[in-house]
Chain A
């Protein structure tokens, strides 16, 4: 158990031990798949940098020792983490986990429970709503390189959330999920499965953060499944310790006329990777993929995306914005794939990097694969510093240099936050970004 995650000469392996058993009352289909997943994890080879899906990634940074399954937090820490679990001023419900265990009773407003909304721990939903969960649980293969880690997630998954919005129900306030990671070298595997029925709408925020500054690992999965003409907004913020590692695999599936907005904020981790797949599997479906990364020191943030257009009149809009400080690195690899017959596709992909130091490094690999002829697609990536002209202009109005830089950097990333299109959630995200900048500049 004390061996590192990487194989090779000096590198040891961790998660050497099979995961602990799960409660016997969980459905057979689930436990069987869990056992199979552990075998998959062991069999799938470790990624190599020469693999296209891992190009530019510093795999050495993924090497870490002594990772252990996170243990239950004690009562005092649990109470402290509950008081720290505050984001939206108003929500329709919230669930708080520390080390993948509930630390407070899950809340969902009665108004929505009566309408048939399900918002509960996954462990509970697996038993109580097993058919609903089974339909959508980890149906999307991890196509962007992390097959091994998706298997690891499935094999070691302890808990997460299941959100289900029935047909034509509108969740007028957002629900929130807090995931705390606590303890030296602790590993968590948060899971979110979000399913919207036809014509429904909902917004959900997931906050993943470390309780302290210790190293640890987070291997999360988020799956969004939007039914016909439904609307889903999802926000995930990652604010883990700067010693931690994170590997998150997300997917979204949009049926006819469905619309999904997914936003990711990456702040913490020594090394983090985020894979996002948006599948537009219904006619007229649309998605917005948005992200903001603000790495400093020697943080590496690696984002891999796929916009998969399978049907006609589908729209996707990707906007990723990175502000890099110190010796930070970002990697963006995005592919727009338009399948045969997916005519009248509109697909856009933009990754912008604001370089706040001379030592930082932004890598962009945009890509297009178009197999239909009536499409509008564009991709572009930029990397550059704040220009002297911009800085001079602000200073010529009396704004001191540091404030001018902060204003411009904040403005730069805000462009992606604006795409969330949900005032309360935008406010939560902007507050986190503002705190981040204040800390970097202080």
Chain B
């Protein structure tokens, strides 16, 4: 029950089926990596889980601790404990980081209850210091004019503030230099706990040197074609995605 369970998920965008029977379980306390070539459905999986309206689910289930996520709207999924770190975080002009985080936390409180502003700011500043985010960013509009690295750090800041049960990191490494990658990975590693599950989506093995996964899955053609331990990522890096695809063909 304490897991995200994806069962035989089929999803399409603009009439093209992208996910074709994807099955995967990420128990709490584990970090699972999904690797796959371009077009394999990695980002589609992240968006479908979060509830993006451009994607239609035709069959299958996504259960968060036994609750069917697919029956919830976007914001209810987030409040149920799911967090998606975006590959391309949107810029929200006029809404400051502080007000944004505050609204997100406020949305998780029972009606009539108000956030303790002092405690909120203290927590936010502490987390920003840990992630090496300048405190002046609190007053700046969410992601507006941020560099690629700043945006990704901001995603991790949001994750640490919202303390989700499960986090999906969609190509968090894309566009990051090695220093920014380390900071982001440290932020994720600090969040690892027996009470939290991670699904790390990436194209390259590099990120997994810093966020070491418990399991690695290869996504191709909209389904998991191979699973293994962290060694699989290294093998992929060495032999390329064609290797698993060929192996897959040989065995089917």
A binds B: yes
- A393-B89, A407-B103 are contacts. A398–B79 as well, Cβ < 8 Å? yes
| Segment at the B interface, from A218-226, A247-255, A409-417 | A409-417
Q: Does B40 contact A (CB under 8 A)?
A: no
Interface string of A356-390 (1 = CB under 8 A from B): 00000000000000000000000000000001111
User: What are the residues of chain A within 8 A of B91 when measuring CB–CB?
Assistant: 390
User: What are the residues of chain B within 8 A of A414 when measuring CB–CB?
Assistant: 94
Nearest-Cβ distance from residue B148 to partner chain A, whole angstroms:
16
Q: Does A436 contact B (CB under 8 A)?
A: no
Q: Which of A388, A389, A393, A401 has the most chain B CB atoms inside 10 A of its CB? A: A393
Interface string of B228-239 (1 = CB under 8 A from A): 000000000000
29 A-B pairs with CB atoms under 8 Å apart are: A388-B53, A390-B90, A392-B52, A393-B86, A393-B90, A394-B104, A395-B78, A396-B50, A396-B77, A397-B75, A397-B100, A397-B107, A397-B158, A398-B79, A398-B104, A398-B107, A398-B108, A400-B75, A403-B103, A403-B107, A404-B75, A408-B94, A410-B95, A411-B92, A411-B93, A411-B94, A411-B95, A412-B94, A415-B94
User: What are the residues of chain A within 8 A of B95 when measuring CB–CB?
Assistant: 394, 407-408, 410-411
User: What are the residues of chain A within 8 A of B74 when measuring CB–CB?
Assistant: 392, 395-396
Q: Which of A394, A396, A412 has the most chain B CB atoms inside 10 A of its CB? A: A396
Nearest-Cβ distance from residue A229 to partner chain B, whole angstroms:
30
Q: How many chain-A residues does the 8 Å CB contact rule pick out? A: 24
Secondary structure class of chain A's binding surface, majority of residues = helix
Give Cα distance in the complex from A417 to B95, angstroms: 13
Give Cα distance in the complex from A403 to B158, angstroms: 18
User: What are the residues of chain B within 8 A of A392 when measuring CB–CB?
Assistant: 50, 52-53, 74, 90
Partner of B107, one of A388, A399, A411, A413: A399
- In the complex, are the beta carbons of B75 and A393 less than 8 A apart? no
- In the complex, are the beta carbons of A390 and B162 less than 8 A apart? no
- In the complex, are the beta carbons of A394 and B100 less than 8 A apart? yes
User: What are the residues of chain A within 8 A of B99 when measuring CB–CB?
Assistant: 407, 411
Interface string of B90-121 (1 = CB under 8 A from A): 11111110011001100110000000000000
- Which residues of chain B from 75 to 90 have any CB-CB distance to chain A below 8 Å in the complex? 75, 77-79, 84, 86, 89-90
Partner of B78, one of A387, A396, A412: A396
User: What are the residues of chain B within 8 A of A399 when measuring CB–CB?
Assistant: 75, 103-104, 107
User: What are the residues of chain B within 8 A of A400 when measuring CB–CB?
Assistant: 75, 107
Give Cα distance in the complex from A401 to B74, angstroms: 9
- A388-B53, A407-B99, A411-B141 are contacts. A397–B94 as well, Cβ < 8 Å? no
- Which residues of chain B from 15 to 74 have any CB-CB distance to chain A below 8 Å in the complex? 50-53, 73-74
Nearest-Cβ distance from residue A128 to partner chain B, whole angstroms:
46
User: What are the residues of chain B within 8 A of A394 when measuring CB–CB?
Assistant: 92, 95, 100, 103-104
User: What are the residues of chain A within 8 A of B108 when measuring CB–CB?
Assistant: 398
Give Cα distance in the complex from A413 to B95, angstroms: 10
A interface residues with partner B (beta carbon < 8 Å): 387-390, 392-401, 403-404, 407-408, 410-415
User: What are the residues of chain A within 8 A of B75 when measuring CB–CB?
Assistant: 395-401, 404
Give Cα distance in the complex from A389 to B93, angstroms: 12
- In the complex, are the beta carbons of B100 and A407 less than 8 A apart? yes
B interface residues with partner A (beta carbon < 8 Å): 50-53, 73-75, 77-79, 84, 86, 89-96, 99-100, 103-104, 107-108, 141-142, 158, 162
- In the complex, are the beta carbons of B107 and A390 less than 8 A apart? no
User: What are the residues of chain A within 8 A of B103 when measuring CB–CB?
Assistant: 394, 399, 403-404, 407
Interface contacts beyond A394-B95, A396-B78, A412-B94: sample of 10 additional A-B pairs, CB < 8 Å, sorted by A: A392-B53, A392-B74, A393-B90, A394-B92, A395-B73, A399-B75, A401-B73, A403-B107, A404-B75, A410-B94
- Of chain B, the residue at the smallest CB distance from A400 is B75
Partner of B162, one of A393, A398, A412: A398
Give Cα distance in the complex from A401 to B158, angstroms: 18
Give Cα distance in the complex from A347 to B162, angstroms: 43
Nearest-Cβ distance from residue B197 to partner chain A, whole angstroms:
17
User: What are the residues of chain A within 8 A of B90 when measuring CB–CB?
Assistant: 387, 389-390, 392-393
**Complex A-B, nearest 7 residue pairs according to Cβ-Cβ distance, in ascending order:** A411-B94, A398-B78, A411-B95, A393-B90, A395-B74, A397-B104, A395-B75
Nearest-Cβ distance from residue B47 to partner chain A, whole angstroms:
9
Give Cα distance in the complex from A389 to B90, angstroms: 6
Q: Which of B52, B94, B103, B158 has the most chain A CB atoms inside 10 A of its CB? A: B94
User: What are the residues of chain B within 8 A of A412 when measuring CB–CB?
Assistant: 93-94
User: What are the residues of chain A within 8 A of B78 when measuring CB–CB?
Assistant: 395-398
- In the complex, are the beta carbons of A396 and B84 less than 8 A apart? yes
Give Cα distance in the complex from A76 to B53, angstroms: 56
Nearest-Cβ distance from residue A178 to partner chain B, whole angstroms:
29
User: What are the residues of chain B within 8 A of A407 when measuring CB–CB?
Assistant: 95, 99-100, 103
Give Cα distance in the complex from A415 to B162, angstroms: 27
User: What are the residues of chain A within 8 A of B84 when measuring CB–CB?
Assistant: 396
User: What are the residues of chain A within 8 A of B73 when measuring CB–CB?
Assistant: 395, 401
User: What are the residues of chain B within 8 A of A403 when measuring CB–CB?
Assistant: 103, 107
- In the complex, are the beta carbons of B92 and A393 less than 8 A apart? yes
Nearest-Cβ distance from residue A314 to partner chain B, whole angstroms:
28
- Of chain B, the residue at the smallest CB distance from A412 is B94
User: What are the residues of chain A within 8 A of B162 when measuring CB–CB?
Assistant: 397-398
Nearest-Cβ distance from residue B2 to partner chain A, whole angstroms:
20
Give Cα distance in the complex from A404 to B92, angstroms: 11
- In the complex, are the beta carbons of A390 and B52 less than 8 A apart? no
Nearest-Cβ distance from residue B128 to partner chain A, whole angstroms:
17
Give Cα distance in the complex from A157 to B245, angstroms: 84
User: What are the residues of chain B within 8 A of A413 when measuring CB–CB?
Assistant: 94
- In the complex, are the beta carbons of A415 and B100 less than 8 A apart? no
